[in-house]
Amino acid sequence: MRKINFLLVLTFAYIFISAQDRITGKNFASRSEVIAQNGMAATSQPLATQVALDILKQGGNAIDAAIAANALLGLVEPTGNGIGGDLFAIIWDAKTAKLYGLNSSGWSPKSLKLAYFKENNFEKIPAYGPLPVTVPGTVDGWFEMHKKFGKLPMKKILQPAIGYAKKGFPVTELIAYYMEKSSSFLQKYPGFKETYMPNGHTPKKGEIFKNPDLANTLELISENGRDAFYKGKIAKTIAKFIKKQGGFLSYNDLADYHAEWTDPVSTNYRGYDIWELPPNGQGIAALQILNILECYDIKSMGFGSKEYIHVFAEAKKLVFEDRAKYYSDMKFSKVPVAKLISKEYAGKRAKLINDYKASQKYDAGELEQGNTIYLTVADKDGNMVSLIQSNYRGMGSGMIPTGLGFMLQDRGELFSLKEGHKNVYEPRKRPFHTIIPAFITKNGNPFTSFGVMGGAMQPQGHAQIVVNLIDFGMNLQEAGDAPRIRHTGSSQPDYGEMKDAGWLELESGISYEVIRELMKMGHKIKWGIGGFGGYQAIMYDNINGVYYGASESRKDGQAAGY
């Protein structure tokens, strides 16, 4: 009997040891990075990755390939993006050796006033229908990127998406699931069934799905440029449809719109410069979190430790109070970006963290005055694109303009209706935005283009990727596969204070011993199922002259190179 028990112990010991991932020694599953010389693409859908590579092989650059991939993602992954949404990008231009930021988020209707919501007793802007619809910025973003950096004609760039929309493509299991889920509450809106339920139901896994209306829309854009969308037939159709639905977005709102080039902002984290775009997005929240974490010896704490998870959660709570109070469209209010991302400010905020106890309340610092897609592409000349695009709340507002084949975004829901709030609704204002691309440089050279989509998870995800790479020494794929932390439930954009300590959500892979210790410290823990974002990344190795690619194992993602 003793011999049998001894064998059992040896067997279980072997299983425990062999449960580590291949040669990495990590206690979570991972896969190899993709490595290539001439180009790399990482998107959330394999067909889009292949289209990006095809564009590169045809002589296009990373910008051309990113636009082509994004156009196709609007078709094959309508649960997260499309030309009815907004776009942000950070571009490394090899010729000028410089980063460029693009804010292509749309503004609110000129004719809709705050008084309308007050007079009709709205406590918040609704999630669906015509009222949360803002101008879609994506198409203008494509053409701005192309005008500044593109090589191939837009007609060639958009052709793959047009072809797939006409001939169809097999729907993946994940997208089929989300489309069916969305149909339960969106099919009541005009055009949804005709566009996304042609056979009486949303497409099932493996079913061929076509969108001829979207093919026609993309053809108009490819032949007549961005004005076809903002000043031509498409704009008129959108305006007419929204008016009929009781909304306010007008032809002039579309015709007057233009995306804006902006300078990315950065903080240095242990020798690496981490770049984000300034508000109206939440990118600087990632920089603020990293600045606070830099006050601690994260490496010695160890990945998955109670000390690291506690400090990370507390840093997030502190930063999101500032996010709620200060982040907004900088054309309408002064956002103290430089002070918010300063090391001095981070040091003061870090002193508020109790190393042994979870906080129940933090106030914002006193200063002087949904689903999404993320993709990244790099080319043989050294250009790199970090691009994120979204409709908000998955598929968007439910508003599908007649015959156009795409849904308009509902990003306007993120405005506050509280007078005096920095993010209060105003005409022609851009709402607080959650979608953020990221980039890392070292010594002035490109290092990593990456993103983690997923609402309020995004700045938390960005900070965790940086920590995984720099503090914990993970490779590019491991950094995305490692179990994630997500804190939810403290402040929201509408509020300036925590209501309670919120919830600390953990993916599987964190030990039960650590979880028990975190609970003793006052953290409310729950297992997270979904909601931890979607990661894609490309890293440049300037010594060997190669790209490393990594993609999200939680989604349909694929990284591929040539």
C-alpha neighbours within 13 Å on the C-beta side of residue 390: 28
Task: Return the structure tokens found at 508.
Answer: 């599987």
DSSP class per residue in 84-115: TSEEEEEEEETTTTEEEEEEEPPPPPTT--HH
Q: Give the residue from 262, 271, 289 showing the smallest Cα distance to 444.
A: 271
As a whole number of angstroms, the distance between CA 254 and CA 115 comes to 22
As a whole number of angstroms, the distance between CA 268 and CA 427 comes to 36
As a whole number of angstroms, the distance between CA 253 and CA 491 comes to 32
Extended strands (E) in 140-226? 169-170, 208-209
Task: Return the structure tokens found at 282.
Answer: 């939440």
Q: Confirm if 354 and 522 have CB atoms less than 8 A apart.
A: no
Q: Give the residue from 518, 511, 460, 503 showing the smallest Cα distance to 484.
A: 460
As a whole number of angstroms, the distance between CA 549 and CA 33 comes to 6
269 forms beta bridges with 272
Considering the candidates 79, 134, 217, 372, report the single residue annotated as catalytic. Answer: 372
Does 202 qualify as catalytic in the annotation? no
Q: Give the residue from 396, 258, 416 showing the smallest Cα distance to 328.
A: 416
The three-state secondary structure class of 246 is coil
Number of H helices, E strands in the chain: 20, 19
Give the Cα-Cα-Cα angle 497, 503, 504 (nearest 5 degrees): 120
Gap between the terminal Cα atoms of the chain: 58
Q: Which residues are catalytic?
A: 372
